Amino acid sequence: MHKLEHLDRRDIQGRTKIGKIWLGPSGNKLTEACMTVNFRSCGQTRMLPTENLRTIRHGVWQAAGLHFLTLSKKGSILVIRQFPTANPVPQHIAVIMDGNRRWAQQRALPVAMGHASGARRVRELVKACAERGVKYLSLFAFSTENWKRPEEEVTGLMGLLSLYLQKEVQDMSKQGVRLRVIGDTSGFSPRIQALIHDAQANTAHNTAITLSIAVNYGGRWDMLQAFKGWQAANPGEVAEALSEAALSPYLSTAYAPEPELLIRTGGEARVSNFMLWQLAYTEFYFTDLLWPDFGKTDLDEAISSYAQRDRRFGGGAYDKPAKAGDAVKAVTPRRV
């Protein structure tokens, strides 16, 4: 097969240089490739063999188990944007959508207009996540604490939820979106409960992306109801028999992997009782942007930030063994 050879030594994020790239052009597929990658941070050079080649999809190229986010594919040249982590595009993104009220106040609009604008932003984000290969998107829409807000605002939010469940389901099915609603839905009116049931049933067959809407949800509530569920399924068992693995199937998000990335808009840096169990090893991304202003470019920045993280899950893969006499470095904690 005809090969084209290209040499690209541009620096990427100050950490890595890409050496030789051979690509066999075949439509949108890379049918043959070999790369020399110089890992400047650890002084290693590694050859990427051809046998594990994958196709370019949603802007991600994968070879030999390593991933690269790409800006574009020009002929048979890959323009590489970000050097890799084990998986540069998180499979599950959770979002705390904060700032709707402030967005409305800044424009001298009713609070309800801010929430409506935020709801419209959801459609764009779902589509953008699906295009980038994200398989699960979880949105914190209404917490158990939000009932304390003014009655007029709560009534407006319930009306917006009802409208969303009625009008968006058909479009979701066209886009392959599966809808799941998590939280204590018994707190809603029978009409909203019926709409939730129908929306979930009508989208249950979709596989492009799973959209989870957290309403009347709290992380503490989730853990408590999971324990009660385990207890009901295991009557007579003592608490010592309960383990993390045994409890996980009873969480409201048991159908999804734990989020790799949490995005919070609005400038706050806290999790606000959202997915307390599930966020144990999640990477956090905080932005001052208000939710109605958060777009596709901002999503890409969050994913790019995630791709630079070193996710060791406490394993310390690159930590050197401590030597006798080594000084212990003080670490200043960052409040999150």
CA angle at 247 for the pair 242 and 252, rounded to the nearest 5°? 160
What gap in Å lies between CA 88 and CA 64, rounded to an integer? 14
- Is 98 a residue of the active site? yes
**Where would I find the H helices in the chain?**
100-106, 111-131, 151-167, 169-175, 190-203, 219-233, 244-247, 296-307
Which residue is catalytic, options 146, 202, 206, 273?
146
Q: Please list, in sequence order, all residues whose beta carbon lies within 8 angstroms of the beta carbon of residue 53, skipping any fewer than 6 positions away.
A: 30, 31, 32, 33, 63
Give dist(CA 196, CA 205) in Å, integer: 16
- Helices 190-203 and 151-167: crossing angle in degrees, nearest 10, is 30
What whole-number distance in Å separates Cα of residue 174 and Cα of residue 167? 13
Amino acid letter at 327? Answer: A
User: How many whole angstroms separate alpha carbon 61 and alpha carbon 308?
Assistant: 16
Of the candidates 98, 100, 216, 222, the residue annotated as catalytic is: 98
Question: Catalytic amino acids?
Answer: 98, 146
